[in-house]
Structure 1
Amino acid sequence: MDQLAVSLEERRSSLVAAGGALAGMADVLHQASGDELAELLTIVDDVAAQSAAARVAITAEALNRGEVAAAGTNAHTWVRDHAPSLRQGGAGQVATVAMAVTGGGAGWQPDRPAPEPDSPLGLVAAGVADGSVSPALATAVLREVERLAPHLRDEALPTVVRALIDLGVQWGPTVMRRLRPRLLAEYGLPGELDDLQERLAGSARLSMPLVESGDLTEYQLLMTPEQATALEAAIGPLSAPAPDDETGQRDLRPAGQRRVEALTEVCRRSSALDAEGKGADGAAAASSAVHVTIALNDLVSVTGCGEVLSSSATATVLSPQVLRRISCEADLIPHVLGTAGEELDLGRVVRLFTRAQRRLLRRRDRGCTFPGCTAPAAWTKAHHIVHWADGGASDVDNAGLLCQRHHTYVHTRRLIATVSPRPDHLGRYVAWDLEPGSYDRHLEKLRAERAVHDPPPLTPERLRLLLDGLWVDDPAEQAWAESELGWMTSDDPWPDDEEPTGSPPATGARLLDRSA
C-alpha cells in the first residue's frame, strides 16, 4: 500500500489499534516461541522508532503552524503537556530537534525552506524522519557538529556528520564523542588537533583528596590525552590479572582494584628513586616520606591506629598492620608516642634496608619470592621476614623480595618464610609457609626461645649479686670499688651537681672500664 495514500483518519485508527495490541502484550507472551519473541521485539522496536520520528514531526508541524505560540508556551512545555510519557525524560530532545528542523530556535518563519539535504541539519533531519536516528542521538550530533564545525574544512563537514551519525546509530552518543580527535586529525584545519590538546592542558586537574577517616579517599582526575597515555603505559602491565600457575590461585581482584594498586605501585617506585637520590637521611625532608603518629604499644601489639601528619592526607587513619607493611617498603618517619602521649621518637627516618642490601637481594632472589609469581626484581620491595616492629633485623638473612600484591597478601595472611644460605632444588633462597597464621606461630616460638636464652633484667638486686661476686685480690681496692659502685644499687643516687671523687686504683679502673 502506498503510504502517502493512507489518510490521516486511517492512520489514527491504526495507531489506536497498535496501542491496544501493545497494552495486552505481556499477557500472551507465554504463547510465543524463542524465535517469535525475538521477532516481536524487533517489530515493537521499529514501532517505537517510528513513534519517536512521529513525535518530532508532529511537534515541528505545531511549530510551523504557530500552535505552540498560540498556546502561550514553548516547545518543551508543549511536548510535555501532550506526551505525558516524555515527562520522565526526552521531551527536551524532541523539542530541540523539532525547533532545529523548523528553524524555531533562531527567528523561524512558517514558510522557511527545508534544510539542504547535504547540510548537517538536513542529514540529521533525514535520519530522524525515517526513524533511524533517535531524538537523543540527533541532539548529540547537532551539539557535536556545532563544536567541531569551526575547526573543520568546509568540504569535509558532510562526511564528518555522516560519520558521527553512523557511529552513534551503532554505539550511542557517548562513543560518538570519542571520535573527535581523529576527525580533527583527518578533516580539521591545519594545526587544529595540536591547538585542541594544548587547550586541554588547562582543563586537566587532579583534585585534592577528600579524606574520610577509616574510609576510602576520593580523588577526581581529568587528564589530557598525552597524560592519559603516559598513565596507561605505566599502570597497564601492572594492572593485568595475575593468576598463580604454581599454586592454582586465581586473581580475584576486580579491575578497579588492580588499577588503583598499579597506580600506587608506580608512585612507590618513583618515591623510592627520589629517596635513593637524596641519600639515607634526605628522605626526611622529601615529599615522599610518610609521617605517622602511633603509640609504641599499638605498633608492637598490632592494636589501635596511626594517623598521617604533614601532608594533604593529614588525619588519614592507618591500621598498625598497614604501618607494619609500609615499614618494609617506604621512608617511615615515626612520631612514636609513649603511654602518656609524649613523643619518644620524632622525625627519625627508618631506612630499613640499605641500597647495597637491596642490590644483593635483587641478585639473590631475582624477583618476587612468592611461589608462582613472575614479577621481576624491579617490581618488588624488600620485606622483613620477621617484621621490623617485632624486632626483625634489617639483614638480608631476614629479607625476601615481594611484589606489591604478594606483599599485601603475606601481611594479610600473616605468613612466614625461611631464608637459606643456599638455594633449594628450584633455585629459591626464600621458602614460604603458605598456611595462614604461620607468622604468628613462628613469632610465638621465637619469643619463647628468647625468654629462655635472654639474661634476666638488670635489677638493683641482681646488680648487688654481681658486685658481691666480683673478686679483687687487694682489700683496699675491693673497698674502693664497693664505695664507688654503691650508687648503682642505691635507692638515692647522688644529685646531678655531685660527681664521684677520687682516682681508682689500677684494678678498680679495670673494674669500671668494661671494654678493657
Structure 2
Amino acid sequence: MIDELARAEGAVAACADAPAWALSEHDLIAVLDATHRLQQRLAAVQLAAVRELDGRGAAVAQGASSTAVWLRHRLRLDDAAARRLVGLAAALDVAPPAVRDALASAAVSAEQARVIADTAATVSAAADAEVTDKAVGVLVEWAGQFDPAVLRRLGARILDHVAPDLAEAAAAAAALAAEAARAARDRHVTISEQAGGCLRLSGILDAETAGLLRAAIDPLSAPAGPDDARGAGQRRHDAFADVCRLALRTGEVPDSGGDPAQVVITASYDALAAQVGAGTLDIGLQLTPDTVRRLACDAAVLPAVLGGAGQVLDVGRQRRLITGPLRRALVLRDGGCAFPGCDRPPRWCAAHHIRHWADGGLTSLDNAVLLCGHHHRHVHQADWVVRLGDDGHPEFIPPAWLDPDQLPRRNHYHRRT
C-alpha cells in the first residue's frame, strides 16, 4: 500500500508541475472531475487508516489525549476538521459495506458518505438489513444528483421510497432516537483565539443544553431600554458574560488547578500604577490599561501582579504544592498544558515537578511545568523526559521507540511570541 501511494504521489506531483493554462476548457473540466474522483478514493484510504489507528489506541500510546488531538497535531488540522475526520471514520466503520465501497469507487464524496451512513443508522433502527441495504443503494444513486444538504433532506424520508409500510409507524420514533444519538455524539463547544485579541465561540448544543442556554441568556439579552443601541448579537454576547459572572460569584464552580475559579490578570505593577501598559489574561489575551484597572477594583476578580519586590517565585523545599504566585508565574510562562500538541488551558492543568519533590527537587519555577491530567499521567508512566530549554521554556524528549533520534519537542499552541 505504501509503495502504491508513493507512486500515486509522484504522478500527482508531475501533474502539479504541468501548466494548466495550456489545456482547453474541455480538458480543464476533465482534470477537475479526475481530481475530485481521486480525492474521494484517497479519502477512503485515509479513513480506513484513521479507523485502524483509533481502534488500536495508537494516538493515546503516543501521548495524545484522543485520536482527534493527535490528528490535529500530526496533520496540522484545525480542531473541527480533526473531529470530522474521526467522526466520519467511526460512522463508516459501522455503516453497511456498500457505503465504504461507494466512497472507494468515488461514487460519493466523503460528506455524502457521512449523510448516507447516518441515514442507514436511522433506517436500521426501524427496519431490517434488507431494507437498510436498499436504502443505501437508493441514496448512493441519488448522490450522483444531489449535494450532501439535499441528500440529507431526502434521506429523512427514505422509508417512504423503500418501505412505505414502515414509514408512518416506525420512522418517526426511530428518526427521533437517531437524531438524539447524533446530537449527543456531535455536541461540542470550540473556543479559538482570533486576531485582534478576541475569542471565537462555536459549537453544537444538544436540545437540553440549548434550552438551558436560552433560558439563561434570553432574559439578560433583552434591550436595556429605548436608547439601547446594541445589536441582538451584541446583547447576547453581554448576556453570556453576565451568566459567567453570576456563575463565578456563586462560589460553586470547581477549583482550577488548586486555586478558586477566578479571572487572573498579569501586569507590571509600575505600569498598572501609572495607568499605562496592557494586562495579560491567563488565557493569553491582552486587556487595555483602563480595563485592567477596572477589573482590579472588582472584588470578584483576584489581581495577580508578578515581578514586585514581595513576590517570591522560589519557595524551596519547605513547600511541596505549587500554588498562588508561583502557579501564576507558571501559567504566564507555559500558557496551558506544555506537552507537544496539547491545547488544554491552564485551568485544566496541574503543576508537575520536573525533578520530583521526593527526590530533592525544588518547588520553583525552574523545576515545574504545567500538564493537563492526561499528560501528567502520561509523563509519569511513559519514558518521556521533561526539561527546560536554553530559553527557559519546557521541551519534551520522546522515548526512543517513538523517535529514534529523540529530538526535543515543544508545544506551540500557547506561545505568545
What's the TM-score bracket when you normalise by the shorter of the two chains? 0.3 to 0.5
TM-score, normalised by the number of residues in structure 1: 0.29
Greater C-alpha Rg: 1
Q: Which has the higher contact order (CA 8 A, sep 6+)?
A: 2
